[in-house]
Structure 1
Amino acid sequence: MRRLALAVIVAGAFLVPATPAFAHGGDAPDATAYRTTVTGISTPEKGLSVRTVEAGARLELTNKTGHSVEVLGYSGEPYLDIRPDGTWQNINSPAAYVNETLTGDPTAPPTWRKLSSSTTVRWHDQRTHWLSPGLPPQAAADPSRAHRLRSWTVPLREQVRTFEIRGTLDWEPPPRAWLWWGIAALTGLMAFGLLRRWSWAVRPVALLGAFTPFAYAVSTALDGGAPSLVLVLAGLLPLAAAFRHPPFYLALSGACLALFAGFTQAGAFDAAVLPTAGPAWLSRALVTTALGVGVAMALTGVLRLRAALPPGKPEVSEDRTIVIA
């Protein structure tokens, strides 16, 4: 059991850097202060939908209309073509050059290459982002509240008919990180008190801890991110500890939970917009719970390990005096 546990820790350590950056998993590198929102399509059509994914980093368009829909580039040229048989990209589009470091010429006839057979496409679009360095002037003048920076549009075309995706870009102030750290500490104290006072509390506390990384991983996936294997691992260990919890395994599962689902996700406390679905406060609550419960489980396991150690053997000194170690 101990060798397996150590293998799990080593595997997790190698997986963390590859976790989608929190990418998606570690410390929320894709979190941001800018909220990109799709407000609608100028002429809605059944089967055509658009949303933001990855904390607003990309737009995602799904075309199930049965006909082709083009996304126009920064110079009004064809950029993407979402057809019934898949998604195609015009490699002569300057948008392809800007977004993917290809060469482009907006005056050249489109040269299409097939990207995939999917009718859903995601792309980075500069028209939806704040590209200037530093804070927006509104935010610099008053960083205590949210500011509407601008409305934006991304043009679409269906044969000769043009229409557009419409949305807004806002700046939002960061949350109070100290408050979330305080909630995490309070959660840890409460969980530790339960575990120390009642042995039956191990199962519900461990199940609560196991739920948090699973829920966070699902929330990340719903926002378009890749599922995090590290978060799944961080949830499996306390899930197993809920049904079989010797002290060493309790300490191990708690430490992994606190590290992989708590401390490495603590960037959620500092950013307003997170790469997760649903309200940001719910994602932060999951991280605080993982932190508090994980630390409480680890500390409880360590204390139980110490209590289970055999007492020291008496030693006899040269003058035959018995010394208790």
Structure 2
Amino acid sequence: MTGRVVRLLVGLVIGLAGTAVTAAPALAVDSAGAAAPALAHGADAPAGTDFRSSVVGFRPAVPGLRARAIEAGARLELTNHTGRTIEVLGYAGEPYLEIRPDGVYENAGSPAAYTNRTLAGDTPVPAEADPASPPRWRKVAEEPVARWHDQRARWVGAGLPDPVRADPGRPHRVADWVVPLRDGTRNVDLRGTLDWLPPPSPGRWWLAGLIGAGLIGLLGAVGTPGLRGTPAPPGTPSRHPLDLAGEHGTTGGQGTTGGGRDTTDGQGRASGRGPARVALAALCAVAGLGAIALAVGRVADGTADGLPAVLAGLFTGPRWATLSGLGALVVAGYAMTRRSAAGFGFALTGVCVGTFAGVANGAAFANSVVPSVWPAPAYRWLVLAMVVLGYGVALAGVLRLRAARLSAATAPASDQRGDDQRGNGDDQRGNGDDQRGDAGDQRGPAPATRGSKP
């Protein structure tokens, strides 16, 4: 049973990791053609890019108006707290968006309403979308916050700009961009910059992740004699073959376990906390918190609607990273209570954290700009931590499951040897009784012989 579980888990690790690694390069492509509604929460944000789009400000300044580039520059966000209507103009100077106090309205007659629906800008523009026609406003958001793809604030050319191609190893100012706005009858420019930032070397990060995961995985071999080719000490096996607390230990008459890592009472119940298991539980908890922090950073980057929107976005955006983090926290607490199947929980949640919070965000290792509110260097180190902790804890869990299987296999043999020894002792005691009986029979007739003499 345990062997099949281990083989299934190893296959799951390889399959999920291979799928994520295969998908990571595609996610890393800047401005790839993933489609989403123009004003929806950012489901089509790129996993990373090397072009940084930054908002400089408004000219002239408008108190109560705030703008920023979100989702690694994939979209612009404009928040209007002026109490007036702010209009965003399209590519032909036509009315495109109106951010009013009661929400956001889109002009269905603006070609920009269709072009800006995707990162690539490849949505067909219907014939009735004429920039010279009167606006046909439709409400698309309830809050005075507009988010939209804008090709004026991103690099949409084929290939790299010439200066970048000539010297990609240093930063370059690619463009100064302007998005025209209108505040009543006054024209306002939303100004920003577009820069090229050299990407990091991904190989070094992946190598560090591999080495770190392997080192943490060694915790699975601490105090597990079955992994070193020696059988577990003879005695009574733990109460559950997947019990991490006693998975490689056995109970003797006074309750000590193999490996010297955990202790048991006289009835074989686990007590105390093994250092390796406590360390794994702590690392699992850290991995869970890190996965949730990654998810929060991505969601907060794409919304300015407050804490409730961020919490809701955790389960509508990076939901798998969120669920993996929550699962890791549950398993960490579960393991600290010394319950059965904690080893399997370590292995499973470790795979999920390493895959959905680590490898799935691996574009951070190859790109200089990431879709998160966390600074790119901090985000990159956090992703590395998820790879190391996730797969490291998973490897430790698999090793401990294997040790449990080996211990369960050696314990019956030890019991059988003890039974044989006890049986031989009984046979020897039986032979001794027979010998004493024969001696008694020989001594019995002697008095009768003496009594027969006259």
Tell me which interval the TM-score lies in, with the shorter structure as reference length. 0.7 to 0.9
Structure 2 partner of 1:35: 52
How far 1:37 sits from its partner (Å)?
A: 0.5
Report the Cα distance in structure 2 between the residues aligned to 1:211 and 1:186, rounded to whole angstroms. 22
Q: Check whether the contact 2:99–2:146 (CA below 8 A) recurs between aligned residues.
A: yes
The one of 74, 99, 123 aligned to 2:148: 123
Secondary structure of the structure 2 residue equivalent to 1:243:
helix
Deviation at 1:88, TM superposition (A): 1.1
Deviation string, structure 1 residues 264-311 (Cα, Å, up to 9, x no partner): 221221111111112111111111111111122111111211221212
Give the aligned partner of residue 235 of structure 1.
325
SS of the aligned residue for 2:193 comes to strand
Aligned with 2:349 (options 248, 253, 256):
253
* Structure 1 residue 98: Cα displacement: 2.4
Contact 2:53–2:194 (Cα < 8 Å) also in 1: yes
Compare the two structures and name the one with the higher helix fraction.
2
**Aligned with 2:116 (options 87, 96, 99):** 99
Deviation digits for residues 140-171 of structure 1 (CA, Å, limit 9, x no counterpart): 00011111001011111111111110000011
The residue aligned with 2:138 is: 113
2:105 corresponding residue in structure 1: 88
Structure 1 segment 66-215 matched on structure 2, within 5 A: 66-100=83-117, 101-103=124-126, 104-193=129-218, 196-197=221-222, 198-199=275-276, 200-215=278-293
Identity of aligned residues (%): 42
Counterpart of 1:222, as a letter, is A
Q: How does 1:49-64 map to 2 (within 5 A)?
A: 49-64=66-81
Pairwise CA distance, 1:90: 1.6
- In the alignment, does 2:398 pair up with 1:302? yes
Normalized per residue, the structure richer in strand is: 1
Q: How many angstroms apart in 2 are the aligned matches of 1:308 and 1:25?
A: 46
Please, which runs of 5 or more residues in structure 1 have no aligned partner?
A: 315-325
Distance, in Å, in 2 between the alignment partners of 1:48 and 1:230 is: 35
CA apart distance, 1:25: 11
Q: 2:368 maps to which residue?
A: 272
Is the 1:203–1:243 Cα contact (8 Å) retained in structure 2? yes
CA–CA distance in structure 2, aligned partners of residues 97 and 238 of structure 1: 42
The number of aligned residues is 301
Structure 2 counterpart of 1:43, one-letter code: P
Larger Rg: 2
Greater mean alpha carbon deviation, residues 261-270 or residues 59-68? 261-270
Q: CA contact under 8 A between 1:127 and 1:154: conserved in structure 2? A: yes
Which amino acid is 2:169 matched to? S
Shift of 1:240: 1.6
Structure 1 equivalent of residue 409 of structure 2: 311
* Greater Cα shift, 181-190 or 271-280: 181-190
| Equivalent-residue separation in structure 2 for 1:143 and 1:297 (angstroms) | 38
CA distance in 2, matches of 1:265, 1:271: 11
Q: 1:203 Cα shift? A: 2.5
Q: Deviations over 1:174-195 (max 9, x none)?
A: 1111221133234324433456
TM-score by length of 1: 0.84
Between the aligned partners of 1:195 and 1:236, the Cα distance in structure 2 is 22
Mapped partners of 1:82, 1:105: distance in 2: 21
For structure 2, the residue ranges without an aligned partner over 5 or more in a row are 21-26, 29-33, 35-40, 118-123, 223-274, 304-312, 336-341, 414-454
